[in-house]
Amino acid sequence: MRVRASPRVVGALAALVLLGSACSADRAAEGESAGAANGWPEASDTRPVIDLDFVVSEDLDTVEGTERVEFTPDLDVCELVFRLWPNKPLTAETGNALEVTDVLVDDRPARPEPTAAGAPDGAPGTLLEVPLPSCVPAGTTLDVLLDFTLTLGRGTDERVGVARAGDVAWFGTAFPLLAWEDGRGWARDPAVRVVGEMATSEAFRLRSLEVRAPSGYEVLGTGAAIGAPEQADGLTTHRFAAPAVRDVTVTVGRLEVLSRQVDGVHLHVGAPRSGVRAPLDDWADQLERSMREVADLLGPVPYEDVWVSVLPDQTDGVEFPGAIQFGDVSPGDQSWLVTHEVAHLWFHGLVGNNQARDPWLDESFATYVQLVVDEREPEAALGMPGGATGQVGRPMSYWATLERPSRAYVRGVYVDGGAALLEARDVAGEDDFDAALVGYLEAHAHSVAVPADVEAAFADLPAALQVLRRAGALADEP
């Protein structure tokens, strides 16, 4: 979740970094080929395989990157499509940029074709197409190698940036993201000027994530930490791997890091050594409570490692699979924010969605979980911006057309959507609704879900579906 709004306006929403590190190579290899975690179904054997290599500059302002992608599409393809999300309006305008410099496909040079797709004037595009010499049939494995440069903006209240103090940098969704949906093809939704996520990605095997950073800096990554960091030529290499994630985030800097076991999950919490508002123990305590309570409702935490970054220039939270970025807030006073971001480990982490086309599938559900776990009443729809009421299922492009689009999006998707799911649970009965929701998670683990999947999961609860239709989350019955 990513919403720049005060707790009073937002009520029940938020997002930030939570992911774990500190594990052995043996533990990282467990379930690697199958992508199963903590009892959830396995990921597809044909999921993409990705290797990432980041080299971070001394001043933390730039990152040189290399990405290798092994991709086996389930449909015929004539091109490859990657998204460069640091180039969306609200991040590009603060100095962030992601540019691809070279591409090889099956060891042959390819000519990438960038498209603005919502990027502001003067910024690199958010969409990168790589035409193939000829179309390839479904089931053909393509080997793609991309070189890229990431520039980070100072004081960015977003998923990529460098602290104004210069002691910590963070970069999530900051690599060329393969924008594929199994059975549907390429996701080309444009970026819009709304505070929120717009990414689409199938779960992939993160075979290797290497972060080479100036020695003396700590690194929080994605997945399991592999072996001990290695030093050479003033740089320290930190390695990670994960069996099934759909995104990656990294935090680098002069960090204090606390690690804790939570029911078999390796929780890692980091913050600048220069200090943040709340002690790391307070963060870990609240995260532990939220993780256990959400797991009681939805099933086991779907990641063996969860990494959390507390960042000085952010104001709320941003979710990633197995990771969260939080602003420098009080976790006790804003426990709802912690619970909301933890809920994203299941909604968008375990079960993905096209965040530009169907943002309610992760944000409304995360808000709903937050309301149930924290036993909060949904905020009244008083003052709902025009065009927001009853529009829960609208895409990001719709919210961008309204006056004060980010506020309308928050009220329409987070608040209205969370309230509708809570009402649906009330009318269907808590036990039946909860069982259907867990069934939905099991059926669509590691995939990209669509609203029809929610409708199918709750088919035996017509009263619940009627509530969701009335809220605009699902299409009216024919």
Assess whether 361 and 274 both reside in one domain: no
Q: What is the pLDDT of residues 406-437, one digit of tens each?
A: 999 999 999 999 999 999 999 999 999 999 99
Pairing of strands 77-83, 127-136: antiparallel
The answer to whether residue 33 scores a pLDDT higher than 70 is no
3-class secondary structure, 119: coil
Residue 477 lies in a domain: no
Q: What is the pLDDT of residues 370-393, one digit of tens each?
A: 999 988 776 654 345 667 789 999
Q: Which helix (H) or strand (E) holds 335?
A: helix 335-343
The answer to whether residue 249 scores a pLDDT higher than 80 is yes
Assess whether 188 and 242 both reside in one domain: yes
* Confidence band of 10 (pLDDT split at 50, 70, 90): very low
Domain extent at residue 200: 7-343
Amino acid, single-letter form, for residue 351: V
* Confidence band of 397 (pLDDT split at 50, 70, 90): very high
- Read off the CATH number of the domain in which 451 is found: 1.10.390.10
Domain ends where: 343, 366, 388?
343
Q: Enter the pTM of the model.
A: 0.92
Q: What is the pLDDT of residues 83-95, one digit of tens each?
A: 999 999 999 999 9
Q: What is residue 11's predicted lDDT score, i.e. its pLDDT?
A: 36
Q: What is the DSSP string of 14-75?
A: ---EEE-----HHHHHTTTTTT--TTPPPPPTTS-EEEEEEEE-TTSSEEEEEEEEEE--SS
- Average pLDDT of the residues of the chain: 91
Pairing of strands 323-327, 305-311: parallel
Backbone angles phi, psi at 371, to 5 degrees: -65, -40
Assess whether 311 and 400 both reside in one domain: no
Q: What is residue 234's predicted lDDT score, i.e. its pLDDT?
A: 96
Q: Which two tokens mark 348?
A: 């968008």
Residue 198 lies in a domain: yes
Assess whether 68 and 87 both reside in one domain: yes
Assess whether 273 and 363 both reside in one domain: no
* Confidence band of 8 (pLDDT split at 50, 70, 90): very low
The total domain count for the chain is 2
Residue 478 lies in a domain: no
* Confidence band of 20 (pLDDT split at 50, 70, 90): very low
Domain ends where: 309, 343, 377?
343
Query: Rounded to whole angstroms, how far apart are CA atoms 376 and 339?
Result: 12
Q: What is the pLDDT of residues 164-210, one digit of tens each?
A: 988 999 999 999 999 999 999 999 999 999 999 999 999 999 999 99
Query: Rounded to whole angstroms, how far apart are CA atoms 279 and 365?
Result: 29
Residue 475 lies in a domain: no
Assess whether 234 and 361 both reside in one domain: no
